[in-house]
Each structure stands twice: as structure tokens, then as C-alpha cells.
Structure 1
């Protein structure tokens, strides 16, 4: 089954977490899920974390104060993890205010991990650039490989990606 233009959300969120948090926290959590699990690297692995500016949260219809309160609530319930670019935790509003960039990640507490490959392959997800910096690489004419070899590679990569997508469900 192919699921284009969708973002996988952990089932635990719908089954047990969503009823226990505020509507602002739900919006902020889903924005973070969209910016992390909603993006894949060239191998099909989800991003572990992403830099999200505070102004991006205004797109979910919340004031700055509501976003800050929602972040505090999500951190308190151990649903998200915030760090600076070096990986230093930012758990208080004061720490976040002093940080230049805040990287957001989802804490996956379930034993039945929704993303089994991501757990075993932390390095691939960690080296992903933030969403705003992802670009398609450009090749010079002298760097290209023969078309038939490249087509075989593309077909194999797409088959691997589809296998991973099928295993998400």
C-alpha cells in the first residue's frame, strides 16, 4: 500500500495521550511530528529531529504564549525532547529563549516501536539537515553514470522505499 502525502503519527498518541493534553499541545505535537516523521532521507528513514522556529508554530493558529505553554506541557509529559544544535537539552523556557536554534524531536516511549529501522539506525537520521535546507543535489555532465545503471539503481531504491512504507502499517 502506497501512502503519498501523509505523515505517520504514533498510535499511542491517538490511543492514550491525546485525551490527556490540551488542544494547544495537540497542535504543537502534530506540527513537530509533521516536521520530523513527515520527512524522509534518501534512504527512506524518518528524521529524528528538526529545527523549527517559534514563528512556524503560528501556522497552527496559536499565540506565542500558547506555544510556550504547550511545549512545557509536552516536555513535562515526556512526549518531546528539545535540544540546541549541539544536542544540549533545553527543558526550560529560559534555556530555550537563550538558544539560537531549537531542535525538536519526538520521544517514542512505546515498546512496539512504530519505526523499527529508525531505532537501529540513529546516525542516518541524525545527519539529516533541517527541513529548510534540504535540496536536490546537482550533478555535472561528467559526473553522471550511464542511464541504464542509474535506472536500475532508481528501481531498486524505489522498491526498498516501498517495502519500508509497507512495513509502517
Structure 2
């Protein structure tokens, strides 16, 4: 299933890694995810890496120093890779500052990598998980959908009970 206007984030990030990261690192990581996994070419392939200027990271509400610290934290946890245009590793801030273009990519497990790169909008593929909307619609009851109708029904039932009670007094 393909959801338009959304970006897939590796589940392992939410399940294991996010609780161990600072807020700045989470913002920077999600920006890298958006700029790589969040962009697909017409055949459905994702970007392996993207050139992201330091000023782009600042647009997520972080100072220059916070961005640098967050990148260092993500590198130490081996969640991202940072390279120059040739592919040489840029693991310290001085190297990154000297480079004209700095490319970022996320590190994902092989299983997740395969899923990201091969996922396409295949209509023949059976849907494995129901969407939230489908789950909600299953519990939807048209009789109770309108709060006004529900309240009118309650009032009528109350009036019926009162009438039965009055009738029993005679």
C-alpha cells in the first residue's frame, strides 16, 4: 500500500532508537529521512543520500550549534552517514565545514532497506494491514452516528417510561 504525501520512517527508529536520542537529534534525523526516503523517482526508488545544507537543518527550529551536536550524536549512534560528493566520509565537524557539499543518508537494516527500495503501488498485492479508516468504519453504526438523533431517541424513551409510570398510578 502506498500512502501519498507521507514519508516512511523505519520502525526500528521508533521502537528502539528514538528514546535514546535528544530532541535535536530526532529533528535532524527526521529531516534526513524526509529528504532521502521521502523522495521517490518515477519508478518508485528512493534517494540513497541527499545534499542537505546546514541552513536546511536550521529550518526545523534548531540553532547552528544544536544541528552540529545532533549530527555528532547521530553519527556516534551510527544512524546516519555523512559524505562528500565523491563518497568520502566526513565524520568530524571540521571536515564537514571544509566540504562544499555534504551528503547525508540514513543507516537502515537490510530488511528495511529492501522494503523501502522495492515498495511500489502494486494493485495486485494483497493488503496485509487494514488502515485506521477501515478499522473505524467496521465499528461505525449509522443509527448512532448523529448525536441529535441519538438524543431525540433518548428523550422519546424517557417520555415513554414516564407515561408508563403515570399509567400505573391510576
Q: TM-score when scaled to structure 2?
A: 0.69
Counterpart-to-counterpart distance in 1, 2:120 and 2:20: 35
CA deviation map 1:133-160 (0-9, x unaligned) = xxxxxxxxxxxxxxxxxxxxxxxxxxx9
Long gaps (5+) in structure 1: 120-159
**Corresponding residue pairs, total:** 127
1:162 aligns with 2:101: no
Q: Which residue of 2 aligns with 1:91?
A: 91
Aligned-pair distance for 1:113? 2.0
1:37 aligns with 2:37: yes
Counterpart-to-counterpart distance in 2, 1:32 and 1:49: 9
What pairs up with 1:93-112 in 2 under 5 angstroms?
Answer: 93-108=93-108, 110-112=109-111
Aligned-pair distance for 1:41? 1.2
Higher relative contact order (CA 8 A, sep 6+): 1
Counterpart-to-counterpart distance in 2, 1:62 and 1:76: 19
CA contact (8 A) 2:36 2:49 kept: yes
CA contact (8 A) 1:8 1:38 kept: yes
Cα 1:13–1:117, aligned 2, differ >3 Å: closer, same or farther? closer
Q: Which residue of 2 aligns with 1:113?
A: 112
Long gaps (5+) in structure 2: 130-170
CA contact (8 A) 2:25 2:73 kept: yes
